[in-house]
Amino acid sequence: MAKILDNQKICVVGLGYIGLPTAAILASRGYDVHGFEVDPKAVGTINSGRAHVVEPDLDILVRAAVQTRKLRAATEPQAADIFLLCVPTPFKDDHVPDLSYVQQATRSICPLIQKGNLVILESTSPPGTTEMIAEIVSQETGLTTEDVFFAHAPERVLPGKILREVVENDRIVGGINQVSTDVCVEFYRTFVSGEIHETNARTAEMAKLVENAYRDVNIAFANELSLLANELELDVWRVIGLANCHPRVDILLPGPGVGGHCIAVDPWFLVHAGPSATPLIRTARQVNEAKPLHVVDRIEQRAKRFKQPRIACLGLAYKPDIDDLRESPAVRIVDELLRRGVGELSIVEPYLESHDRYSLTSLEDALKGADIIVVLVAHRAFKTIPPHLLAEKTIVDVCGALRG
């Protein structure tokens, strides 16, 4: 154990929304951090002292880490004492987990792994993934779980608050065996102030999936209420507000669907692991995945009132005040509107300078020319739109941004 903690070299594999903030924090704590990222443009941005993802204060931390030479990015991995895997874990057709990024990341570091190293999987993954990593390392190098420590420590952070939550949130750490758990816990205690909960790798993997499935089920209930309220011509926001006056009721607010890499993906990992045991989780996913099409139907109905409807679509991100479009229901809605040819669209996303498929418009220009205003994301900029700019417009506010 002392060997890992005495040495200071860490290789972070994947410098995205989780990997880069984690790498910058570790560098700020005195570790020598090598970041491995396959995107050369991102590598260049990081090495110039800037962050290629939007996150409050991340630019400042990256700049300091690069200037002090504690953080360096490259398109190849480097030998280290600790390898931290922070790569995507999406799903393939029929919602089958796609572990190809984890497999590629593991194989990329195999030539560098030595006896006594610690390999940590932070990516949210199906139960058994950490064991798969250990098996790949064993096949490629001959090193076993007696030689190398393997553990899962799933990230549990909220975009927009990542730098604080990486340090302050409780962490679950599950090793492939007890000594791996002990070594990994010791490492996280060097920079995490939250409580660290020890378990085994499979339990840690499932616990993270359960967290997001729980949230997905609760969001699905709110989204289903919004569909019912729409049919009954009731104000769902008012209904939920009144129901929440009960001391033991806390219903979430509805939206256009569910996005992001976690909640929109992770429940399917549980469904895949036990299809017959997860009908509620599957149904919740289906409710949330269908919600964007219901929103498009509502917009299309309102567009029929106009000869040549001009529609302002406000927001593309999967949640407010970030630039992350992964699994975004807003993107699905815009794509479906374009596919159906529903009016002339003006698309606004204040957190993006450009988009590879859409021509983005300023908020002022979009509002000025619109017959229909569709608020898809509750960005701060949309909540403060002056009322006179909304006058005589048809409003479809699917996230409650304009309430009050």
Q: What are phi and psi of 11, to 5 degrees?
A: -115, 115
Residue 310 β-bridge partners? 344
**What CA–CA distance (Å, rounded) separates 399 from 382?**
11
Mutual angle of helices 266-273 and 279-303, in 10-degree steps = 140
Angstrom CA distances, 312 to 326, 362, 375, 402, stand at 21, 10, 8, 15
DSSP classification of residue 222: H
Contact 269, 126 (CB under 8 A): yes
Asked whether the beta carbons of 120 and 85 are under 8 A apart, the reply is: yes
CA distance 268 to 97: 8
Evaluate whether 56 touches 17 at the Cβ level (below 8 Å).
no
Catalytic residue among 11, 86, 184, 208: 208
Tell me how far apart the terminal alpha carbons of the chain are, to the nearest angstrom.
56
Count the helix, strand and coil residues of the chain and give each as a percent rounded to the nearest 5: 45, 15, 40
Measured distance CA(310)–CA(373) in Å, rounded:
9
- The active-site residue out of 262, 291, 313, 399 is 262
Cα four-point dihedral sign 226, 220, 166, 38 = negative
Q: Active site includes 383?
A: no
184 is catalytic: no
Helices (H) and strands (E) in the chain, counts: 15, 12
Residues with a known catalytic role = 208, 262
